[in-house]
Amino acid sequence: MAFVVGKAAPAFELDAVHQGQFTRLSLNDFKGKWLIVFFYPLDFTFVCPTEIIAFSDAYEQFRKLGADVVGVSIDSKYCHLAWTQTARKNGGIEGMTFPLLADLNRQMASDYGVLNSDGVALRGLFIIDPDGVIQHATVNNSGVGRSVEETLRTLQAFQFVREHGEVCPANWHPGSSTIKPDVSKSKDYFAHAAEAALQG
């Protein structure tokens, strides 16, 4: 995934399902906004609905941070629509709050480096900044779902860095100390961290 981080996000324009309707979405539709793009293998599977429901239920948290979310798989828009109309108790994602893109020709998954040898997407997740640059990329194999909480934390960290110019240490959360990226000034953080470790 290192080949995409810090670079312009690959453009896309795909059919999608959003709020029970067919639409067409492109990367340009999200220009000037933070965007979470997450790929998943297939509709009507097992781990996938748990992830989509988790992100859907947290969608307003992303919106409050000025971020949009889109899901992407190689399924058709018709398959997406059927899945969004299937009850959660039956493995569906009824009540879904954000768009699902239909990457039928697999071009987007290929461009983002998550297309596997079976022709489906791995669980790739990308945070794209308002300038269209990928700031974060992770990929899981199909058996393990991703963490909404960690995605929110990482988004907030990159937003902080963009706004304030300081950098975020390991396990940073909003309100925690940050580091001034300067040889001398950074020692304030390290000294404080070392003292806290001795006391803790």
Q: Rounded to two decimals, what is the model's pTM?
A: 0.95
The residue from 35, 48, 81, 137 that is catalytic is 48
CA-to-CA distance for 180 and 189, rounded, in angstroms?
8
| Cβ-proximal residues to 53 (8 Å cutoff; 6+ apart), any chain | 88, 93, 96
Residue range 102-113, pLDDT digits in tens:
999 999 999 999
Residue range 56-94, pLDDT digits in tens:
999 999 999 999 999 999 999 999 999 999 999 999 999
Give the CA distances from residue 175 to residues 18, 44, 95, 195, in Å, rounded to whole numbers and listed in that order.
35, 39, 33, 19
Confirm whether 79 is a catalytic residue.
Answer: no
Structure token digits, residue 33: 């906004």
Residue range 165-189, pLDDT digits in tens:
999 999 999 999 999 999 999 999 9
CA-to-CA distance for 1 and 7, rounded, in angstroms?
11
